[in-house]
Amino acid sequence: MSTNRPALPAEIARRRTFAIISHPDAGKTTLTEKFLLYGGAIQMAGQVRAKGEARRTRSDFMQMEKDRGISVSASAMSFDFKNFRFNLVDTPGHSDFSEDTYRTLTAVDAAVMVIDGAKGVESQTQKLFEVCRLRDLPILTFCNKMDREARDTFEIIDEIQENLAIDVTPASWPIGMGRDFLGCYDMLNDRLELMDRADRNKVAETISLEGLDDPRMADHIPPALLEQLREEVEMARELLPALDPQSVLEGHMTPIWFGSAINSFGVQELMKGIGQYGPEPQIQKASPREIAPEEKKVAGFVFKVQANMDPKHRDRVAFVRLASGHFERGMKLTHVRTKKPMAISNPVLFLAADRELAEEAWAGDIIGIPNHGQLRIGDTLTEGEMLKVSGIPSFAPELLQTVRAGDPMKAKHLEKALMQFAEEGAAKVFKPMIGSGFIVGVVGALQFEVLGSRIELEYGLPVRFDASQFTSARWVHGPRDAVEKFTQANKQHISYDHDGDVVYLTRLQWDIDRIERDYPDVTLSATKEMM
C-alpha cells in the first residue's frame, strides 16, 4: 500500500471497497445484512436474504444454489455510512471456487475477516487469508458470536497471530462471553459499549468514560467482570502491539473488533474502523504504466463476468472496478483488447440489494456493464490510452473431464455454451489438436455439476462428463518456432484454450519435468494472465 501520495479528490477519498472473507457459517451473511441496515439501505435486517431469494427465483439459473445453500455467483453492493461510500464485493462462499474468489479479491482494497469466536481461524479463512496476503491486502478482523461461549480472548488473538503470521491489535475488548456477554470496551476511544439483547436491530447505548478507572464503570459491570476486564485490558496493552495505521495499510497488522452480528453488536464500530483505517482506492498495476485513482480520465477493468442473469435475454454483466476518474453514464470508453469504442449507456450500480442504473461512479466503485460477450475477464476500459491492467491470473485447472452433448447433433450448441463459460471464467475449455470434442477443466469437482446444470438450463442441452485421460494442463510459452516444434512433436498432448493459446495436457508430472529438460526454450506454466 502506498504512502506519501497526493490527497485524493473527496469523492474518491471517501470510498472503501472491500470483501468479506470467512469460513462458512461464521456470520458473513448476517454481518452483510447489518452493514446494509446501518448503511440505511434497507429498513430491516433480514431483507437481504428475502430479497436475494426473490431475485434468485427471478433470474437465477441455479436450483443448486438454493438446494445446497451455497452462493455460486458473486455480486457487489454499495451503501453509505457516515461520510463514507462502502462498496462490498461478495466473495463466493464455497471453497471450490477459489479462482473466482481470487479474482474478486483483485477488485478490492481491503478485506474484512470474520471469525467465529468459538472456532477461531478455520480452514477456508486461512486459505482466503493467504490469497489476500499475496497482494498485501489490509485486513480488518471481526470476531463474531461473542454472545455464545467463545474462546478466551488472548487465545483467539494468539491463534490469529500464530496461524496467519500477522500482528493483531485489539480495537475493542469483550466483556464476558456467552450468556454473560455485556458488550465491549472500546480500546481506541476509551468508551463502554453495551449490548442490548432486547432489540437485535439496533445497538445499545454507548457510554463515554474517562478510561478504565472511571467509577461509572461499576454502574454497568458487575464487580467480578469489571476486575477481569481491567486486568485483561492492562495485560493486552502490555503484551499486544498498539494500533499502527501504517502497518494496517501494509497488511502487517490487523485490528480486531469483537461483537455479535446477529445482535447488531460491534458492527458499527467495525464500520467506523473500515472508514478510519481501511484504505482509500489504491493504485492499480497495469502496463505500460500504473493507474492512479485521482487521474482525471476513467480507467477500469473487468474482474468478473456473469452470464444469463436474466434467462430471457442472453446478456451478460461484466463487473468493472473503476481504477481512476469520474465515470458518467453514456461515456464512450475504449475497449483496449479490441481497440474498439464502447458506449456505456446502461451501466448498473449495485446500490443496496437491487440493481439500479448508474448515473455516475468514481474510482473505487464497481459498476455492472451489460453486454453481449465483448467484455471478458481481465479486459481494460480507458478513455483511449492503451493500458492493460495486470495481475488477474487464470490458474491451471486441477480436474479435467471430457464433455459430450447427449444429442450428438447438438455439438455446435455445446461448443457455444462452453465458450461462454470459458469467457465467464467458470471453466477452462480445451480443444484437442487431434480428434474431436472438448476437455473441460475446473478447480473443484462441484464445478462440473454447476456447469452441467447450467448448460442444460440455459441451452436446453443435457451433457455428460467423463473421465479424461489427462489430469494436468499447462500453458506453453516460448518463441514461436520453439512452441511450434514442441507442438508438432507432442500432438497427442496438445490442445487449445478458448483464446487459441497452446496448452499441454498430461497425466504425469514426470512428463512436465522431462519437457522442461528436453525443450529448454519452452516453458510450461500453471497460470496465465487473462487477456
Binding site for ligand GDP (CB under 6 A): 22, 24-30, 144-145, 147-148, 260-263
Instruction: Answer yes or no: is 379 a known binding residue.
Output: no
- Residue closer to ligand GDP (CB basis): 12 or 195: 195
Q: How far is the CB of 125 from ligand GDP (least distance, A)?
A: 10
Give exposure, 354-367, as e/b (b: 16+ Cβ within 10 Å): ebeebeebbbbbbb
Instruction: Answer yes or no: is 22 a known binding residue.
Output: yes
- Residue closer to ligand GDP (CB basis): 86 or 519: 86
- Residue closer to ligand GDP (CB basis): 38 or 421: 38
Count of beta carbons in the 10 Å neighbourhood of residue 224: 10
Instruction: Answer yes or no: is 141 a known binding residue.
Output: no
What is the rounded CA–CA span in Å between residue 199 and residue 270?
Answer: 19
- Residue closer to ligand GDP (CB basis): 196 or 315: 196
Instruction: Answer yes or no: is 94 a known binding residue.
Output: yes
Q: How far is the CB of 1 from ligand GDP (least distance, A)?
A: 27
- List Cβ<8 Å contacts ≥24 apart for 41-49: 41/77, 41/79, 41/351, 41/352, 41/353, 42/352, 42/353, 44/201, 45/200, 45/201, 45/264, 47/353, 48/353
Q: How far is the CB of 321 from ligand GDP (least distance, A)?
A: 23
Instruction: Answer yes or no: is 219 a known binding residue.
Output: no
Q: How far is the CB of 201 from ligand GDP (least distance, A)?
A: 13
Instruction: Answer yes or no: is 23 a known binding residue.
Output: yes
What is the rounded CA–CA span in Å between residue 150 and residue 159?
Answer: 13
What is the DSSP secondary-structure string of 146-211?
TTS----HHHHHHHHHHHH--EEEESEEEES-GGG--EEEETTTTEEEE--SS-TTS---EEE-SS
- Residue closer to ligand GDP (CB basis): 247 or 264: 264
Give CA separation, 174 vs 43, 227, 402, in Å.
28, 13, 54
Q: How far is the CB of 258 from ligand GDP (least distance, A)?
A: 10
Instruction: Answer yes or no: is 147 a known binding residue.
Output: yes
Q: What is the chain's Cα-based Rg?
A: 25
- Burial degree of 327 (CB within 10 A; 0-12, 13-18, 19+): buried
Q: How far is the CB of 18 from ligand GDP (least distance, A)?
A: 16
- Residue closer to ligand GDP (CB basis): 148 or 151: 148
Q: Which bin fits 465, alpha (ψ -120 to 50), beta or left (φ > 0)?
A: beta
Instruction: Answer yes or no: is 145 a known binding residue.
Output: yes
Instruction: Answer yes or no: is 172 a known binding residue.
Output: no
Q: How far is the CB of 454 from ligand GDP (least distance, A)?
A: 23
Which spans in 469-508 are helix H? 480-489
- Residue closer to ligand GDP (CB basis): 72 or 375: 72
In the annotated binding site, the residues are 22-29, 90-94, 144-147
In the annotated binding site for GTP, the residues are 22-29, 90-94, 144-147
